[in-house]
Structure 1
Amino acid sequence: MTILSSTDLPAKPRVLIADDSRIVRASLIKHIEGMFDFREALDGEQAWETLLIDPSIRVVITDLTMPKLDGYGLLQRIRNSKISRIRSIPVVVVSGSDEREERDRAKAAGATDLITKGIGTAQLLSRLDILSKLVNTQHDFERSLESLARVNASDAALPVSSIDAVLQQANTMLETAFKNGKNFVILNVSVGFKHSNLEGAATVPPQSVIDAIGQVLQRTVRETDRVARTNEAEFTLITGSINFDSAHLFAERVCRAIAGANMVKDSPMALIASCGVGTLADHEGDRSVTAQFLLETARRRAAMGMAHAVTGVVGKDEEAALLNNTYRPPTANASSPENAAPATPDLATLLQWIKEGKREQVLPYIGTLSAELQPLVDLVLKKG
C-alpha cells in the first residue's frame, strides 16, 4: 500500500467518487472536471482503502447501493475512524430517489449532504466548492480559538468520562433530590459544525473547540453540580436543587453561548449546540425514575436536536414537536437570554452569587432569599 505524502498533494481540490456504475461515475466526472481533481472507486471497500492512503482527498461522493461495502457501511467506517482527517471528511450521498426514509437514514449515518443523480452541473459544483472549503474553514475556526486556549492554559481539558462514572455521581445526587423533595436535572449538550447550505448532518468540531467548550462549562456550573465529557463532542451536566424554569434557562444560555462562540467572520459556517433535558419535573417526583433513564432521555433529545440542526433546548415539549414535524425555532426575542422572562434562581444559586460577590444579581431576589433562609434563622435564634 503506497501512502501519498504532502508533496503529492494536487493543485485542485481532490474528490473521491465511489459508485459501482461506470456511467454514473463518468457523469459526475463530466460535471466536475476542470475545477476538481478526482479519484474513482468501484465499491465502498475500495473507497475506504483509497481514503487510507490518500490524505489529499477533500470530499467523498458515494452511492448508497454498492457491492462489498455499501454507502451506509462506508459512512459508518468513516465516522468511526480513529484517524481524524477521515472521521471529519465531508461525505456527499448520491441517491436515485427522494424518499424521506432513505435520506433520513443517510443523515443519521453521518452524511454531510445529499444530492440526487439528476443534479445539474452548476448546483453540484457550488455544493462541492462549499464542501472542499469546509476543512479549511474548520482549520480557520481552530486557529481563531488559539488565543482562548492560551488564556485558559491552566484549565485542563475535560477527559472523556465513562457513562458508568457519570451515572454513579448522578445516582447519588438523585437520591439526595428525592430525600429533600427537590428537582433533579440531567443536561446533555451535543455540539456540531454546520454549513447552512448543506442538508446533511453536522460535522465534529476541531479538538481545540471541544476543549474550549469544556473549559467554559467547567467555569459555568456551580460547585455542587457535575460536568463531564461523555463522547467526542458531547457533554453531560448533572444538577440538583434547581427548579425547572431555571434549568431550562441555564440550558438555553449554555447552547446560545456555545453557538455564539463562532469566530469565523462572514461565513455560513456555524456551531450547533443542542441541549437535551431529562428532569424529574416531567415525572412529578416519581421515585421509580432512575438516573440512567433521565440520562438516556437527555441524550436522545440532544441527538434529535442535532439531527434537526436545533441550537437550543430540547425538552419534553420540543421533542413532541420534532416528532410531529410541528417544531418551530424560538423567535429571537423569545430565545435570547436578555429578553427572556427571568426565572427565579434557587437558593443554592443565590448563595453562590453572594459568595462570588455578585450583589447586583442577588438584590432582585432578596425577598425570595429571606423567605428561604427564615427557617434557618429561626432555628439559630431558638438554639441561642
Structure 2
Amino acid sequence: MTANTSIDIHVKPRVLIADDSRIVRATLIKHIEGMFEFREALDGEQAWETLLVDPSIRVVITDLTMPKLDGYGLLQRIRASKVARIRDIPVVVVSGSDVQEERDRAKAAGATDLITKGIATPQLLSRLDILARLVSTQGEFERSLEALARNRANSTEAMDDLDSPELFRNQAGLLLANAIRNKRNFVILGIRIGLKHAGLEGLAACPPSSVVDAVGRLLRHTVRKSDRVARTGEAEFAVATGSINFDSARFFAQRVCQAIANANLSEHEQMSFVASCGVVSLSDFGNESDAVSLETLCEVARQRATLGLDHAITGVVGQEEEVALQSRPVDTSLLWLSARDGEVIQQKMTGSGDGCNADRPAAETLLQWLQEGRQDQVLPHLERLAADLQPLMELVLQQRK
C-alpha cells in the first residue's frame, strides 16, 4: 500500500465556532488551538454562510442562544441542506446549563454532541478528535476504502496494522479498567460486513478478502492512536475506545457503516454491501457497569452486529434497535459465501463464523426427498439447497426482467 492511500484529511482539521460571546469563542479557541484550525462566526447566519463557502470545515461548535439565527435554527438549516457535506457535518452544541430538556431538544434538532461551557480541555479535544480527525467526511472514507480495496486486491502484503486478538484483549482491558477507575465511558463497536444479492431475499455473502482487509486498515487509520482495532472473524472487526461520548461513538459507527455500503466495491451490479455495527457501552449497564467484563461487552457488541446483519441492516444496532429487531422474523435462508481465487465457494457458516459441515446430501438428493414428501429431512439442509440453486434463481430473475 502506498502512503497516499490512507485518509485524505488535513493535519489540523478545521472547526467552525459560532457564538456571539467573544469570551466564549476565545475560551474555546484556547482549548483547541494547536490541534485544530478554526474559524469564527458571531451568529447563526454568519456560521451558515461560512459553511456554504468553506468545504474544509470538519466540525461545527455552536451556541444555542445567538442573534439573527440561533443554534436550533442553524441545526435545522444544516440537517435540511441539500449539500451532503453540510447535511452530514458533526455539530457540537455548547450550552451554559446541563438541563436535560435543553439537551433533548438539541439532540432532536440534530446535534451530534453536547458540551457545557465549563468543559475541560482534554475532554473537549477528545470529543473533537472523534468527530474531526477520527471521522473525516463520509466521501473521504468511501474514496479511501475504494483505493485501499483496489491496492489490496493486487497486493500480497499481509495486513499487520491491526491488533492480534491477544493484544486487543490486553490493551482494550486496560482502556476499560481506566474508564471504570476514572468514571468515564467505554465503548465497544462490533462491525460485521456482508454482501447481499438484490434478487435473492435473505441471501448474504462474505466480501472478498481484499475488501475486508481494506476496511480493517482504514479503521486502524481513522480511530485515535489510543483506540484498539482487531479483526475478530472472517468479515468482522472490534473497536475499543475509551473516554468517548456515546452519541459520538454512534455517529462514527454510522459513518463507517454508510461508507462501506456506499463505496464502489462490488463488481456485480446486483450485489450490495451491508455493514452492521453493534454498539455497547458501560452506560448500558447502569449501576452494574463497574463489574462488566471486556468479554461481556465484546459479546454483546457482536450479537447486536449479527442481529443487524441477519436483517440486512446497514447502520448501528444499540439497545433500542436490538429490542426492535428481536421482535422481527429472520429469514432462515441466510447464507454466507466465501470468494476465493475468483470462484464462489458456497458454505453455511455457524453462528460463531467458524467452519462448515462438509457432510451434506447433494442437491439432487434433497430434491428427490422433496418429491418423496420427506420435507422433515430436507429442512436441516434448506440453506445448502438454496445455495446450490442460486444460479438457477438468478437465471429466472434475469428472464423476468
- Superposition TM-score tier, normalisation by shorter sequence: 0.3 to 0.5
What TM-score, normalized to structure 2? 0.44
